[in-house]
């Protein structure tokens, strides 16, 4: 092939045979090759050692070669460093469409192998289909859109399988306590470190854990939650670390992945971690320290990359003092601590919480759900041992039993509010307030105190109940202090 001249077609007899693996006859190849060469922006051929045997003038000009003959016999990558012709020669597989960069220029190239009569690879030929991607802009844009849609679909499927339902907006509240929780959650989301959520049951620990994951760098990876308290102690190890085939009598013959494997690359949420037995605490500590787990019944360790968010309603420090929880595991988990206040400590959020919960309850139902200020005030007189979970239950029951088309007032709330946990009646029902002009000095202080309790500390409302201006109330409070 060294005697082939650029632009010539007489080399077809040497380049291709009737038995080539593409299935084309020699006549067809000889007819098509000149058309490809003429329509392309350049063409080149190499032998079975990937040395250049022929190059046409167009490709030589494109590569900036003054004398095309000077490169004949040279390895193709010595002339075109990004060329994949050696790959085609080695594998015998064509590369029908590829984008190659050469000297800051992007070329669209097709590459085909060719064979001798016995089916042995003799070399390869390549055509530069486009030396300017501008005509392909619509096609490339469509491809990118399809690729983005596919990536979004895959992400959605992965999220649906092992994803999150909540984000930070779902942790409802605007009180100082709620805002501090959100501030720490954003801090946790920006740093790939273990997080410990502390709070009573029903305060929204899982909502917050999912919210942290959803805005972290692991958001497109799995979120796997496990409630430690809900799994029997003898099954916890298998649940966490998986089971090797035939690990025990009756075990599945296939490998069963544990929560660590399922969460690999993402976030593992350990709810009620304080209920974990001591033997498993040691194995969990090793998994967190070494980033390795050993499935039950296996002698092999597997590497895992998991970000742990733990939560508990128990006092871990007291458990450490009593020997019920490992101190080293506590320090490993408690890198960033987020205390979540109980509902009774952020009653200022009751209004927005009711609005959000009623919206969720009524979503998809042909009914409305609203609550009056008096209804919110009635809720404020309860201690909420079950926190937000109990609040939702009360609102659902009030809507079910209500007779006012979904409008909840104080009477509707009192009908379903549990009696245990109620505060003194004076804090629920405003006591009669006598005009100050008709009361004695010793009764005045009691009247002001009753008004403040009835208004939950709102001095404007207290002054209104007393029938005096706010400035007068401030003066009297100053005298009482």
What is the band of 479 on the pLDDT scale with cuts at 50, 70, 90? confident
With cut-offs at 50, 70 and 90, classify the pLDDT of residue 162: low
Measure the CA–CA gap between 1 and 22, rounded to whole angstroms.
Answer: 21
Q: What pLDDT does 188 receive?
A: 94
* Domain limits, CATH 3.30.450.20, in the chain: 12-132
d(CA 9, CA 348): 87
Please write the tens of the pLDDT for every residue from 84-111.
999 999 988 888 888 887 777 778 888 8
Residue 285: the pLDDT is: 94
Distance CA 462, CA 472 (A): 11
Q: Give the pLDDT confidence of 24-74 residue by residue, as tens digits.
A: 444 555 566 677 777 778 888 899 899 999 888 888 888 888 888 889 999
Cβ-based neighbours of 270, under 8 Å, separated by 6 or more:
226, 228, 276, 308, 309, 310, 311
pLDDT at position 250: 55
Rounded to an integer, the average pLDDT of 196-220 is: 94
Q: How far apart (Å, rounded) are the C-alpha atoms in residues 125 and 107?
A: 15
Residue 235 CA, distance from chain mean position: 28
Q: How confident is the model at residue 401 (pLDDT cuts 50, 70, 90)?
A: confident
Pair 112, 124: CB distance under 8 Å: yes
Q: Are 294 and 280 in contact (CB under 8 A)?
A: no
Per-residue model confidence as pLDDT tens digits over 325-380: 999 999 999 999 999 999 999 999 999 999 999 988 888 677 778 999 889 999 99
Residue 179 pLDDT > 70, yes or no? yes
Q: What are the contacts of 366-369 at 24+ separation with CB within 8 A?
A: 367/399, 367/405, 367/406, 368/405, 368/406, 368/407, 369/395, 369/399, 369/406, 369/408
Buried b or exposed e, range 94-114, using 16+ CB within 10 angstroms: bbeeeebebeeeebbbbbbbb
- Say what the pLDDT of residue 222 is: 92
pLDDT at 251: 53
Assess whether pLDDT exceeds 80 at residue 287. yes
In degrees and rounded to multiples of 5, residue 336 shows phi and psi of: -130, 115
Residue 35's pLDDT is what? 73
DSSP SS3 for 8: coil
Residue 418: what pLDDT? 85
Distance CA 76, CA 59 (A): 13
Closest C-alpha to 302, from 247, 331, 262, 249: 262
Angle ∠(151,157,161) on CA atoms, nearest 5: 145
Residue 130 token pair: 């486009």
| CATH top class, domain 430-480 | mainly alpha
CATH for 344-426 (1.10.3260.10, 2.40.30.10, 3.40.50.720, 1.10.8.60): 1.10.8.60
Residue 101: strand, helix, or coil: strand
Q: What is the pLDDT of residue 19?
A: 43
- Which CATH number applies to 168-247+272-335: 3.40.50.300, 3.90.870.10, 3.40.366.10, 3.40.50.970? 3.40.50.300
pLDDT at 219 over 60: yes
Fold of 12-132: Beta-Lactamase (3.30.450)
Report how far residue 426's alpha carbon sits from residue 450's, in angstroms, rounded to the nearest whole number: 8
- Select the more confidently predicted residue: 249 or 48: 48
Burial degree of 431 (CB within 10 A; 0-12, 13-18, 19+): middle
- pLDDT of 320 over the 90 cut: yes
How crowded is residue 405: how many other Cβ atoms within 10 Å of its Cβ? 9
pLDDT at 31: 66
E-assigned strand segments in 325-447: 336-339, 370-371, 407-408
Helix residue ranges, H only, 167-246: 176-189, 205-214, 233-241
pLDDT of res. 176: 92
Every domain of the chain with CATH number 3.40.50.300 lies at 168-247+272-335
Distance of CA 137 to the CA centre of its chain: 33
End-to-end CA distance of the chain: 108
Strand partners, 47: 123
**Whole-angstrom distance, CA of residue 316 vs CA of residue 332:** 13
Contact 436, 450 (CB under 8 A): no
d(CA 46, CA 78): 13
Q: At what angle do helices 459-466 and 441-454 cross, to 10 degrees?
A: 130
- Residue 187 pLDDT greater than 80, yes or no: yes
For residues 321 and 152, the answer to whether their CB atoms sit within 8 Å is: no
What mean pLDDT, rounded, does the chain reach? 81
Q: Catalogue the E-assigned strands of 245-387.
A: 267-271, 292-293, 302-303, 307-312, 336-339, 370-371
Q: Look up residue 181 and give its two tokens.
A: 């929780």
What is the DSSP code (8-state) at residue 468? S
The boundaries of every CATH 1.10.8.60 domain in the chain are: 344-426
* Sheet arrangement for strand 336-339: 223-227, 267-271, 307-312, 195-198, 336-339
- Residues 6 or more apart from 387 whose CB is under 8 A from it? 200, 201, 202, 203, 204, 342, 343
């Amino acid at each position: 092939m060294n005697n082939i001249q650029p632009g010539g077609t007489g080399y077809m007899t040497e380049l291709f045979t009737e038995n080539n693996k593409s299935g084309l006859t020699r006549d067809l190849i000889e007819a098509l090759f000149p058309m490809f060469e003429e329509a392309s922006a350049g063409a080149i051929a190499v032998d079975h050692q990937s040395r250049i045997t022929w190059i046409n003038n167009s490709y030589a000009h494109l590569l900036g070669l003054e004398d095309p003959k000077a490169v004949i016999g040279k390895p193709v990558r010595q002339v075109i460093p990004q060329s994949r012709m050696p790959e085609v020669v080695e594998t015998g597989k064509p590369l029908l469409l590829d984008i190659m960069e050469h000297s800051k220029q992007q070329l669209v190239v097709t590459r085909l192998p060719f064979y001798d009569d016995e089916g042995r690879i003799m070399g390869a030929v390549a055509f530069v289909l486009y030396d300017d991607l501008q005509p392909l802009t619509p096609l490339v844009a469509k491809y990118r859109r399809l690729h983005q849609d596919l990536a979004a679909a895959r992400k959605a499927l992965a999220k649906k399988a092992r994803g999150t339902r909540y984000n930070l907006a779902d942790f409802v509240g605007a009180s100082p306590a709620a805002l501090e929780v959100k501030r720490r959650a954003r801090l946790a989301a920006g740093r790939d470190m273990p997080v410990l959520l502390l709070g009573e049951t029903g305060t929204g620990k899982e909502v917050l854990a999912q919210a942290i994951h959803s805005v972290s760098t692991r958001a497109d990876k799995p979120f796997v939650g496990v409630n430690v308290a809900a799994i029997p102690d003898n099954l916890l190890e298998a649940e966490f670390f998986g089971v090797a085939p035939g690990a025990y009598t009756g075990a599945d013959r296939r490998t069963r992945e544990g929560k660590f494997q399922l969460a690999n690359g993402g976030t593992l949420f350990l709810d009620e971690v304080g209920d974990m037995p001591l033997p498993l605490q040691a194995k969990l500590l090793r998994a967190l320290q070494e980033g390795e787990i050993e499935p039950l019944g296996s002698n092999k360790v597997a590497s895992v990359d998991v970000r742990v968010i733990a939560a508990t309603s128990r006092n871990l420090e007291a458990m450490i003092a009593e020997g019920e929880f490992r101190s080293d595991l506590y320090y490993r988990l408690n890198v960033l601590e987020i205390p979540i206040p109980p509902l009774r400590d952020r009653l200022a959020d009751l209004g927005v919480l009711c609005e959000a919960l009623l919206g969720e309850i009524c979503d998809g139902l042909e009914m409305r759900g609203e609550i009056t200020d008096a209804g919110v005030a009635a809720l404020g007189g309860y201690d909420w041992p079950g926190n937000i979970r109990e609040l939702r239950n009360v609102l659902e029951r009030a809507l079910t039993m209500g007779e006012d088309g979904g409008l909840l007032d104080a009477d509707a709330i009192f009908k379903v509010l549990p009696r245990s946990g109620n505060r003194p009646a004076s804090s629920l029902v405003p006591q009669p307030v006598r005009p100050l002009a008709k009361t004695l000095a010793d009764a005045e202080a009691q009247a002001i105190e009753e008004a403040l309790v009835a208004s939950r500390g709102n001095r404007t409302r207290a002054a209104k109940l007393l029938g005096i201006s706010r400035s007068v109330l401030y003066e009297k409070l100053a005298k009482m202090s």
